[in-house]
Amino acid sequence: MRQVISLLMENAPGALSRVVGLFSQRGYNIESLNVAPTADPTLSHLTLVSSGDARQLEQICHHLNRLLDVLSVEVAAAGSGDFLERELMLVKVAIDTGSEDALLAALEDSAATAGATVVAAGKASRMLELVATPEHLELCLRDLHARQLRLLEVVRCGAVALRLDAPSESGGVF
């Protein structure tokens, strides 16, 4: 099951490598990782998505909490409703000469369905931007494929997550 870890840590040199190092050291796979400073610039918020069993993850949370740089760790199953999740995706779609009109039409259509925006144009490509839940981004990609559009590059920032309310039973603050 996909698990989301939301973690508050010192925005200090070495802190991130300690956190990430713990995952590799314990043989735990990171699916996506996002870190940025919070409103308080001395702190960073880190969102990490991982698939693994809950028990092992609980252990990792204890270990994370043991790190000096970590202030708090929260974990919840993805889609459990405990967290609001969002992810940014940029997709570069090929618009080959000769069939521009058909391709552009397909692209516009797909963008409208997914709620994405075409934000830039290259010589033979367009750039699509979408902010949504990670699941929604998957659907968007599938739709682009279904319309025979050729994707040149896809970049995603990894999920960011924020707890809606106080921790519930299903989640847990370690």
Partner 1 sequence: MAKDAELLSGGEMLVRALGDAGVKLLFGYPGGAALHIYDALFRQEQVQHILVRHEQAAAHAADGYARATGQPGAVLVTSGPGATNTITGIATAQMDSIPMVVVAAQVASHLVGTDAFQETDMLGVSRPVVKHSFQVRTAEEIPTIVRSAFHIAMTGRPGPVVIDVPKNTTDPARKFPYRYPGTVSLRSYSLPGIVDSAQLERATTLLAEARRPMIYAGGGVIQGDASAQLIELVQRLNAPVTNTLMGLGAYPGDEQHFVGMLGMHGFYEANMAMHHCDVLLAVGARFDDRITNAPEYFCPDAVIIHIDVDPASVGKIIEPDVPIIGMAAEVLASLEQKLELCLAAYDAEQRTDRDHALADWWKQVGRWRAERGLLHGRRYVTQDDRILPQQVVQSLYEVTGGEAYITSDVGQHQMFVAQYYPFKAPRRWINSGGLGTMGFGLPAAMGVQLAFPDAVVACVTGEGSIQMMTQELSTCLQYGLPIKIININNEALGMVRQWQDMQYGGRYSHSTYQDSLPDFVRLAEAYGHIGLHVDRPEDLAEAMRRCFDERKRLVFLDVRVDEAEHVYPMLIAGGSLRDMWLGKGERTPPDTERLRGG
Which of 15-23, 28-36, 90-98, 108-116 is the region at the interface with partner 1 (rule: CB under 8 A)? 15-23
**30 touches partner 1 (CB under 8 A):** no
Identify which range of 5-13, 94-102, 106-114, 124-132 contacts partner 1 by CB under 8 A: 5-13
- Which DSSP state fits 104? H
Record the tokens describing residue 51, joined without a space: 């698939």
* Position among 18, 92, 156, 163 found at the interface with partner 1 (CB under 8 A): 18
Closest among 163, 170, 160 to 72, alpha carbons compared:
163
Number of Cβ within a 10 Å radius of residue 135: 13
Count residues binding partner 1 (CB under 8 A). 20
Q: Which residues contact 76 (CB under 8 A, 6 or more apart)?
A: 3, 4, 6, 82, 83, 163, 170, 171, 172
The separation between CA 14 and the C-alpha centre of its own chain, rounded to angstroms, equals 22
* Binding residues among 59-88 for partner 1 as defined by CB under 8 A: 59, 62-63, 65-71
Please report how close the Cβ of residue 3 comes to partner 1 at its closest, in angstroms: 17
d(CA 92, CA 94): 7
Between residues 55 and 123, which has the closer beta carbon with respect to partner 1? 55
Q: Which of 10, 129 has the CB closer to partner 1?
A: 10
Best CA proximity match to 60, nearest among 35, 26, 20: 26
**Residue choice 21, 81, 115, 122 for contact with partner 1 (CB under 8 A):** 21
Q: Applying CB under 8 A, which residues contact partner 1?
A: 9-10, 13-14, 17-18, 21, 25, 58-59, 62-63, 65-71, 174
